[in-house]
Structure 1
Amino acid sequence: MTSGVSVESDGSGALRRIGPPARRFLARRKGVLVRLAVWSLAEAGQAFLVGYAIAHSVDRGFLAGDTRAGLLWLAAALAGVVCAAPVVRGVFAELAGLTEPLRDALVRRAVDRSLERALHGPGGTDRAAVSRLTNQVEIARDSFAGLVLTLRSFVFTAAGALLGLLSLHPALLVVVLPPLLGGLALFLATLRPMAAAQRRALAADEALGDHAARARAALRDLTACGTGPDRVRQGTRLVADAASAARALAGWAAVRTAALGVAGHLPVLALLVAVPWLRGRGVTTGALLGAFTYLAQSLLPALHTLMTALGAAGARLLVVLDRVTGPDPWPTDTRRATPVASGRAAPPAEAVPRGPGPVPAVELRSVTLSYGTRAEPVLDGLDLCVAPGEHLAVVGPSGIGKSTLLRLIAGTLAPDDGEVRVAGRAVTGRAVAERTLVPQEAYVFSGTVGENLAYLCPDADRADLDAAVRALGLTALVDRIGGLDATVRPAGLSPGERQSIALARAYLSPAPLLLLDEATCHLDPAAEADAERALARRPGTLVVVAHRLSSAVRADRVLVLDGVRAVCGTHEEVLARSPLYRDLTGHWNAGPLR
């Protein structure tokens, strides 16, 4: 199983995708960056002043017997601390000039992707759109703000502190810099593998969650196909993959903690150990105290914040930006094209040629469709011909392309290649009067029973409505509601009752082509059989995505989509030619599907 997340071993792919637009974004805001740099220079001066003033308050003031000078230098240090408040205020005021345009740009991108998915993607809806517009965009905004603050503060604070150490005595840098740079280098070395480990952990978690959700939704098919043990083994492997990714992530987190310890604690220890050596080279007591001030008040807090922010916010920002701005508009949904039974997308289908005779009710010519530019085809080169008045049942595991096929015929989905024709006319991607599609989730609106039944046939009279009620076996349900003129409360109906009303509505539809996408799944077997027989007697063509194998037995012909090839024929013909159909029929005869 593949995850919806594109995982690259070092995260360089995401960086390559994000890098150019990020540079263009910053290049258009040079004024904001210059003003931020000015405020940051003030912060560097403040960091320099505090340690320098403390050092001279000791050497030139208190140790020299000049208390007044010592207090003046301490007052200068206090002024440096107080000046930090307006500096921070100025930095945050300019920061909005970067974060808010970024947020606006990400929202526009998320909306564009959602609209693109609605127009061209699977299912017509984007369930991740709300997360991208709210949670992910805000994560990106907050992470970006944190990174800007942290990187800016570290660079300028470190510059001020290091300049202060150099001004006090060059030997101080000899002691402090090696462990500081060593810990920082070790931390930077963990960034790419840590990001890759985080992405692998995220991918493994999503793959496991997707496996669990799809297995739960396909329990019926798993039982019918006898593939339950395979799915258990697959789930076990995914759990092991997720555990391995979590252990790798924990290992790199331990290395990062070690880097933080090296950079955050060794400089102080090295300075303590080197005090005799430094005193021998003329480093004064005040310079030592100033050096400890630079470490404790400036360098080490800035370094700790930098490591924490880059390790957490940086990785989150990279992943979220790649999600929101990535090239594939619906990466998570391409997995739905993978069949449960075989684990592969359907290769080219076996042709179902059209013979001489009247214009077919439905005709597919070399139809190919995939969800997303990098996804394997759900239908690949499928040819199909359905004669007028024929009853066709479509059978196959969940996710194999049965609903996709009906959407293509209904005109709500356009193929990538090939042609779909209904009643001899090409389908252009918009629904027309020649067909009626009844989905699994039946729609019943607040109105009278008669209005619901006549929705697709406004000219239907009372006799037509009564005939539909009798044909679909709805007499008891209509009487319980209060008759055809009684108001329907959709929330008061069971899923099966709503499906029964939708089927009666389709029965009254004047469309010569009726498409049922598991529209009887909430009915019991007897009610389903009665409904399908009534709809088959109705003038026109009936194409049914079978919920039970009994639907296939009742049909004139059966189309089996099994992930290897499409097989079409009568029940007996398909039994002889399709191993999957034989397995399904065997399980059905044994009882699980009845």
Structure 2
Amino acid sequence: MSGSDIGRTTWRALTARRGDVGRLAAWSLVESLPALLAGLLVARAVDQGFLAGRFSVGLTWLGGLAVAVLIGATATGRVYRSLGAVVEPFRDHLARLVVDGALHDATRAGAHPDSAPVARLTHHVEIVRDTFGGLVMVVRGFLFTAGAALLGLLALDPMVAALVATPLLAGLVVFAAALPAMLAHQRAQVTAGEALGRSAATALAGHRDVRACGAEERTVAEVDRRVSDHAEAERTLARMSALRSLSLGLGGWLPVLVLLLGAPWLVRRGLSTGAVLGALVYVTTSLQPALHALVQGLGGGGLRYAVTLDRILRTGRTPTHGDPPADPTPGVPDPAPPAVRLAGLTFRYGPRARPVLHDFSMTLPEGEHLAVVGPSGTGKSTLAALVAGMVVPERGTVHLAGRPVATVAPTGLAGLRVLVPQEAYVFSGSLADNLRYLRPDADDATIETALATLGADDLARRLGGLAATIDPATLSAGERQLIAAVRAYLAPAPLVILDEATCHLDPTREATVEWAFARRPGTLIVIAHRISSAVRARRVLVFDEDGPLLGSHHDLLSHSSAYRDLVGHWDGVAATPGGAAAAVTSRLG
């Protein structure tokens, strides 16, 4: 999504309510009356009143300023009413966009509704509404306040207006030039902080495993690299903040310095003492606050507005009236089917046993990263076996890439999915033969790349290279799992199911493996044994007493007591209902 899309959306939101925007501008004009008259009235009060020895005249001019302030304060209330008339329809438009997009996707893919559209409706839309209103206020305030102050300066003396406007314009140019970079570096700082948190949490949670496996140096190096990246992002962001301060100094404080240093020259030109004081009033009470509000508003709320609106536009777009119809059309290929579609699954171990799954439905689009968590015996591995076609459901259907699993031969299933169980299978033979088991045509370079990607290259060297003969009995459980993971990574199947396939790896290496599969083209399902796997996933499926629940990590922290119990106090996560996400999690089944 480009910045032009965000700009066009914002512009359409304003032009769609021209009448309300016009009323907002009219009341803003009245509100700016004190900014227009303050310097002029102070100059008159000083020159014609106090310096002339006519105290009552000075008070009269100041009384006029008080009346202007009261009128402006009355107009401020009307400004906020007009603002609501502009902002609320935009919020309603975004809400319709999110709902229409969710309904369109659900209808097209046959998916069970999930929590993401609701999250955008209840959280992201509210962020956009608040920041949009704030941006309208600060931009409107700067335009009318600064404009009124500059008109007042022109009325005092055109030369004074020029002396003030030049550094003000320079400050605005500096800020406008730095704003895109500031936004980009702010995003980079947030990303680096999240990466550091993930890396540190993984290392701390698995410090015993790290020490037992002798992976201290590698783990420390990984965390140190994340710390360095975050520190560099912070330093860069600090330099960007310095540019923001520079723009405030140029536009807000340099005019004061210019007026003070140029006061003797201005007085010799015939400017009165009151006019000099009035010019200082315009700068310090109108231009400075307006510029400060603009810079802080665009540099803070502007970033949140752009990021959040971008997310809504990316996920909430629906076909326009000119789009092709949803029904199949000769010569037009059908939309790509979802990677996994489960419809009405029911499964039990025995005719009188309690169902492990009952009327369970779920759709995973291509490229999804799902973690499945829950207490032992709740059906996680059963779900993996059903998706992989290893067991047959009592009722319901399983489709992989649009093909019903029940009608696909075992050789065909091998091309659709690869399942890696907890107990990894490694046979006697060369390491290369083990890794090529699912992809016989893989050359040595491809295998070595896969080993490096999953962090298994040191294991390959320790075993003696690709040609080395390995004895499975001499391998640890973690080494067998790592070999099985590389084998699955090389497989051509688009769907990978890791059924606790990394439980014997230390958390750092487990994170490396899962991130590698997440970046691999295709879809990833992780039956997780550590909560860190859920944090890394895009969506999480948790099994509790009431049935499966689907949502993001933060959604489930807010709305699933079973998930909070699983998380506990891992890494200091406060498992409280008031989590960061204000979304309703979908109940499946």
TM-score (norm 2): 0.56
1:69-148 paired onto structure 2 within 5 Å: 69-114=57-102, 129=117, 131-148=119-136
Match of 1:153 in 2: 141
Partner-residue secondary structure (3-state), 1:545? strand
The aligned counterpart of 1:262 is 250
Q: Is the 8 A contact 2:356 2:378 kept in 1?
A: no
Distance in 2 between residues matched to 1:226 and 1:586, nearest whole Å? 22
Partner of 1:58: 46
8 Å contact from structure 2 (residues 347, 395) kept in 1: no
State how many pairs are aligned: 401
Q: Secondary structure of the equivalent of 1:274?
A: helix
- Bigger CA drift: 146-155 or 170-179? 170-179
Paired amino acid for 1:414: P
Amino acid at match of 2:476: G
Map 1:509-528 to 2 at 5 A. Answer: 511=394
1:256 maps to a residue whose letter is R
Structure 2 matches for 1:155-554, cutoff 5 A?
Answer: 155-208=143-196, 237-326=225-314, 414-415=338-339, 429=341, 431=343, 450=352, 452-453=354-355, 495-499=375-379, 511=394, 545-549=419-423
Residues 143 and 313 of structure 1 are in contact (CA less than 8 Å); yes or no, is this contact kept in structure 2?
yes
Call closer, same or farther: CA 1:228–1:509 in 2, change over 3 Å: farther
C-alpha distance in 2 between matches for 1:233 and 1:123: 43
CA distance in 2, matches of 1:113, 1:84: 43
- Pick closer, same or farther for the CA change 1:127–1:216 going to 2, 3 Å: farther
Letter matched to residue 549 of structure 1: E
Q: Cα gap change, 1:566/1:100 in structure 2, threshold over 3 Å: closer, same or farther?
A: farther
Question: What letter corresponds to residue 76 of structure 2 in structure 1?
Answer: V
Q: Which amino acid aligns with 2:376?
A: G
Cα 1:276–1:19 change in 2 (3 A) is: same
Q: CA separation in 1, counterparts of 2:306 and 2:139?
A: 16
Contact 2:145–2:286 (8 Å) recurs in 1? yes
TM-score by length of 1: 0.56
How far does residue 269 in structure 1 lie from its aligned partner after superposition? Answer: 1.8
Contact in 2 for aligned 1:157/1:302 (Cα 8 Å)? yes
Shift of 1:294: 1.0
Deviation at 1:238, TM superposition (A): 4.4
Q: Is the 8 A contact 1:454 1:508 kept in 2?
A: no
Range moving further from structure 2, 203-212 or 292-301: 203-212
Query: CA offset at residue 75 of structure 1?
Result: 0.9
Give the superposition deviation at 1:549: 2.9
- Contact kept, 8 Å, 1:456 with 1:509, in 2: the verdict is no
Larger Rg computed on CA atoms = 1
1:370-421 CA-to-partner distances (Å, cap 9, x unmatched) read xx99xxxxxxxxxxxxxxxxxxxxxxxxxxxxxxxxxxxxxxx735xxxxxx
Using the alignment, how far apart are the partners of 1:290 and 1:45 within structure 2? 15
Offset of residue 103 of structure 1: 1.9
Q: Which runs of 5+ in 1 are unaligned?
A: 1-12, 330-371, 374-412, 416-426, 439-443, 458-493, 518-542, 554-559, 569-577
With over 3 angstroms needed to count, the CA separation of the structure-2 counterparts of 1:187 and 1:498, relative to structure 1, is closer
2:338 match: secondary structure: coil
2:10 maps to a residue whose letter is A
Whether the 8 Å CA contact 1:175–1:267 is kept in 2: the answer is: yes
What's the CA shift string for 1:311-340, capped at 9, x where partnerless? 1111221111111212698xxxxxxxxxxx
Using the TM superposition, give the Cα deviation of residue 89 of structure 1 relative to its aligned residue in structure 2, in angstroms. 0.5
Q: CA deviation at 1:122?
A: 13
Taking only the aligned residue pairs, the percentage that are identical comes to 38
Question: Match for residue 477 of structure 2?
Answer: 592
Deviation, structure 1 residue 274: 1.2
Native 8 Å contact 2:342 2:397 kept in 1: no
- Measure the CA separation in 1 of the matches of 2:34 and 2:473: 80
User: How far off its partner does 1:287 sit?
Assistant: 0.8
Q: What is the rounded CA distance, in whole Å, between the counterparts of 1:111 and 1:67 in structure 2?
A: 66
CA drift of 1:126 comes to 5.4
Contact 1:59–1:285, Cα closer than 8 Å, also in 2: yes
C-alpha displacement at 1:146, in angstroms? 1.2
Tell me, in whole angstroms, the C-alpha distance in 2 between the residues paired with 1:171 and 1:82: 31
Give, in angstroms, the shift of residue 67 of structure 1.
3.0
Residues 270 and 18 from structure 1, CA distance in 2 versus in 1: closer, same or farther, beyond 3 angstroms?
Answer: same
Task: Label 1:55 to 1:142 Cα distance change in 2 as closer, same or farther (>3 A).
Answer: same
Tell me the distance in 1 between the aligned counterparts of 2:215 and 2:437: 19
Once the two structures are superposed, residues 419-454 of structure 1 have per-residue CA deviations (whole angstroms, 9 ceiling, x without a partner) of xxxxxxxx9x56478xx779xxxxx9xxxx956159
RMSD: 5.0
Give the conservation status (yes or no) of the 8 Å contact 1:154–1:306: yes
C-alpha deviation, 1:23, in angstroms: 2.3
Q: 1:203 to 1:20 in 2, by over 3 A?
A: same
Bigger shift: 14-23 or 109-118? 109-118
Letter in 1 for 2:167: P
Shift of 1:31: 0.5
Decide whether the 8 Å contact of 2:101 with 2:315 is kept in 1. Answer: no
